Structure 1
């Protein structure tokens, strides 16, 4: 059972997400709260996945993200926004968010996104524009020179490419005939060596470094 916490300042959004996710197999919403209650509720319920509004009047979503990431067993966090070019997206990704979703995400896609997040995948809304991604790539173009790739073993490069294609740890394990635990170890090593805080940043690094073939997801 995947335990999900929904954090949003709008009760209508919280209720809608809660109903959609509770109706999905294998998913349980353990809390649907405003930003000010997020950290305390996360400590009490220990969710696997948090869907967190990036803009809230009572507390900044990025501040909550940082607090959640510092928990002893931090949940996977995806940011929620009503904008496909929110100026805070880059900061959220750099702060360790596993992706972000628009609040008008198709109800059928929401459980799929949660399952992907829970299994170690990354989620970027289909409506995220190329401008957002290219802007992030351009901004970080000098942060990771090509020789950083030399820090990775051949197997770690293989794992990095599959991370960049959006595969979960379980899917990568199947593809490379490894155990899930071994894949987790490789991903942890990759994040450390690339000096990034999350899988999305690692995926964007892979694109900057030219590791993805034309047409890759």
Structure 2
């Protein structure tokens, strides 16, 4: 009986450790500027740390947030993401930012961030996301933004991860590689076979 109890305790601790590791860890130093240098001896959050003596103010600046994104695409929206890959000073800080531009009736399709909660602030225009000027999407929740106005819209999103990840629902379901069996999609979404085949063709990776 003691062996079973011990095994259960170890399993629970292992699970708790796995769950905890799904989030950005708290930094143990003031900063760890990311650098793609395999000779570095410190590897944190998937990035190597730049030698602190070589860090400069430019490692903490991003200059493109004032530039409107190109919304001339099929969904009529553009996301300028500022994550650790764009701003190396974010490494280990557990935060990122996104600038979202919408043409009239532009859509940021349903998607999810597997590693981040998102706090969206509408700066200009009217977006269908919920209610009010500020809206929060808990980590992993499928969400979208849709410009229901006749003018351009602008929003900023603060995200609780340096590398939030994004999974666009339609692409993941209908454009997966290898493709999901059409019979599964027909039954899961209660769609005709022709509709499923069309959607798989539309969302197939280019």
TM-score (norm 1): 0.23
TM-score (norm 2): 0.24
If you compute each CA radius of gyration, which structure gives the higher value, 1 or 2? 2
The structure that is strand-richer by fraction is 2
The structure that is helix-richer by fraction is 1
